[in-house]
Structure 1
Amino acid sequence: MHTRTIQTDRLNQQILEAGAGPLVLLIHGFPELSISWRAQVGALAAAGYRAVAPDMRGYGGTDKPADAAAYGVLDLVGDMVDLVRALGETSCIVVGHDFGASVAWHCALTRPDLFRAVFCLSVPFQPRRPKGPPTAALAAITRRAGLGQIYISQFQAPDAHQPFDADPATALRKAFYAYDGATPDGRQSTGFFPEGQTLLSTIPDDASLPPWMTEAHFAEYVAAFSGGGFKPPVDWYRNLDANWAVTAFLQDARIGVPAAFAVGERDPVRHYAGPAEAGLKDWAPGLRIQQVIPGAGHWIQQERPEDVNRLLLGFLGQLSDPSQ
């Protein structure tokens, strides 16, 4: 397993890679990095696959365009298309977690010739709503339910990243703690909070690292985000309405390639993304696996690497077995 920088059409992308064989591309979410996939990279390589996990655009050792508009979903999908080609490959299986799951779903939706199967964690496919941009609808639903504000809405503000940049170590520690499966009820974040608060202000100050997170591993995250800042990662969220506008051509499109999905039973993201789980088969007719992992939280591939690796390798085995 090693790290290197690879030049694609538009970016210098830092990747973590190991193994030889069919390519499996692993896309991280917020606030993570390629190192979030170490357990999967190792397991895939041992099983005869070429595993590649990039630091995504705006993260870690990959380029960070200054313009917020440069972080739209079509740019992110394009980066993965460029990366596959730069790796000398013509197809791959794409795996995504959190916001990286949204990118992976759209990879499969827009380029099924290149991304021949998709396995996503934590965030199910969210079909495009025909009634208007998502942030206004989300804010209205939140208000009607009396839930205050959701962090996705607050992230639209141009200064939303500043509380994270002010103390990256505290911000990361709180984020990992608040969305972890081992965190007790009442101390997890639901993603909703009262007006006048922020996501970080509602997470206990005595938040500790999750059981699976070593100090050395945590230090890698702190170094990366201290150097690169949180503005580019938060810019992904600032493009939600723009993503809706540029994906009109995908209205009512369904994912045609084989698919799989797993989520932690105690993942707080289910408070707002969960309803899409029930209808996932309608939007991904080739769905072969849909699994809830008992007790797991949001950082599922790091919390429960054995479970995720078992499901992932089982899914890949189905793809190579024509009888399944």
Structure 2
Amino acid sequence: MTEIAHRDVQVNGLRMRIAEAGSGPTVLLLHGFPESWYSWRHQLVALAEAGFHAVAPDQRGYGGTDRPERVEEYSIMHLTGDALALLDALGVDRAVIAGHDWGAPVAWHAAQFRPDRVRAVIGLSGIHRPRSSRPPLEIMRRTLGEDYYMVRFQRPGEADAELARDLPATFRRLLTGSSGDAAGDAPVAFESDGFLAGFPEPGKLPGWLTEEDIAAYAAQYAAGGFTGPLNWYRNLDRNWELTAAWHRAPVTPPALYIAGERDFAAIAPDRVAGLRGLIPNLREPVWLPGCGHWTQQERPAEVSDAMIGFLRSL
């Protein structure tokens, strides 16, 4: 069995914890919210055994990586800067960058900002979308209301405290409730008694998730909590301001999109075709029937096979 190694590296002024396995061309794996390097545990092994150097960091504010205090230090410029500086720390000129959930916009923007450093990009759940004409929070408030989760996440301390109150319960409820195994659609709004009220305690865990997995996530959040991860959401308007120079700029490296057909965050298949002008080298998307939001954890073998096939085609 391929071993996953862990070490700390200095990246962009931070101490960053990384997990890595294998040798060969580098594939950087960027996790989403509320996750860590652990969400890529299956792909680290599969990619290593296929002849690649797979590296999954705890991103800024998460797990074993430093947690800056200032909200503005979690902008998309900081996050893409971390990813590219990690390549420098690894001694790598160019790499494929894959990202899931919040890791996806970091991967897409890294490819957009620095195509000279990004050999190809893989987006899981999230795909690159055109920059909006108005600040995103303004649009969300107008169309989705004040209780939409991204809007409510702007309130300092509120979701931070709720999510940290009972860590095992938080991960059981969020991971199950946004998966393809959930009874209904994942809720995207706060209820009167909080965000987690929309995610009932599951009677049993889905087959892809174990109590050991829940314990691993809970342990990784025990020291740092959720403020760092939630600060990513608190930069939505700042990111919109900072990326004005790249308005409608294409993402030119080869690209792959992988999504679950039951993922609340995935874009509809007919809309993917409309994005080819912005992602001219987008390959045929991979759709996973019955899969929810936690793509690479719910369908590890299918996702690994799709990634390896894409990597070998480059």
Instruction: Provide the rounded CA distance (Å) in 1 between the counterparts of 2:78 and 2:17.
Output: 17
Aligned counterparts of 2:194 and 2:128: Cα–Cα separation in 1: 27
Whether contact under 8 Å (2:164, 2:226) holds in the other structure is: yes
Taking the TM superposition and a 5 Å limit, the aligned residue runs for 1:61-210 are: 61-130=64-133, 132-143=134-145, 149-159=147-157, 160-185=159-184, 188-194=185-191, 196-206=192-202, 208-210=204-206
Q: Distance in 2 between matches of 1:117 and 1:199?
A: 36
Asked whether the 8 Å contact 1:24–1:51 carries over to 2, the reply is yes
Distance 1:308 1:283, change over 3 A: same
- Please list the CA deviations of residues 182-215 of structure 1 after superposition, one character each: whole Å capped at 9, or x if unmatched: 1123xx4231355x35321222134643321111
Q: How many residues align?
A: 309
TM-fit CA distance, 1:244: 0.3
C-alpha RMSD of the superposition = 1.5
Deviates more, 1:176-185 or 1:297-306: 176-185
Q: 2:308 aligns with which of 290, 306, 313?
A: 313
1:200–1:104 CA distance, 2 compared to 1 (3 A)? same
Residue aligning to 1:322: none
1:41-60 correspondence runs (5 A)? 41-60=44-63
Q: 2:34, 2:234 → 1: CA distance?
A: 15
Which residue does the alignment assign to 1:248? 244
- 2:261 corresponds to 1:262: no
Read off the aligned partner of 1:106 and give its amino acid letter: H
Separation (CA, whole Å) in 2 of partners of 1:80 and 1:193? 32
State TM-score, norm by structure 1. Answer: 0.91
State whether residues 177 and 207 of structure 1, in contact with CA within 8 Å, keep that contact through their aligned partners in structure 2: no
Preserved contact between residue 176 and residue 202 of structure 2 (Cα < 8 Å): no
With the length of structure 2 as denominator, give the TM-score of the two structures. Answer: 0.94
**Does residue 6 of the first structure (1) align with residue 9 of the second (2)?**
yes
* Residue type of the alignment partner of 1:265: E
Shift, 1:279, TM fit: 2.3
CA contact 2:187–2:199 (8 Å) conserved in 1: no
Question: Tell me, which stretches of 5 or more residues in structure 2 are unaligned?
Answer: none
* Contact 1:173 1:208 (8 Å CA) reproduced: no
Does structure 1 residue 223 correspond to structure 2 residue 226? no
SS of equivalent to 2:141: helix
1:190/1:269 contact within 8 Å kept: no
Q: Is the 8 A contact 2:29 2:99 kept in 1?
A: yes
Query: Is the contact between residue 125 and residue 276 of structure 1 (CA under 8 Å) also seen in structure 2?
Result: no
Unaligned runs of 5+ in 1: 320-324
- CA distance in structure 2 between the aligned counterparts of 1:57 and 1:42, rounded to whole angstroms: 23
Moved segments of 4+, more than 4 Å: 273-276
Deviation at 1:161, TM superposition (A): 1.4
What residue in structure 1 maps to residue 276 of structure 2?
281
% identity of equivalent residues: 42
Pair 283,231 (structure 1): closer, same or farther in 2 beyond 3 Å: same
CA distance in 2, matches of 1:157, 1:207: 31
SS of the residue aligned with 1:6?
Answer: strand
Judge conservation of contact 1:262–1:290 (CA < 8 Å) in 2. Answer: yes
State the shift of 1:126 in Å. Answer: 2.1
Counterpart-to-counterpart distance in 2, 1:65 and 1:210: 35
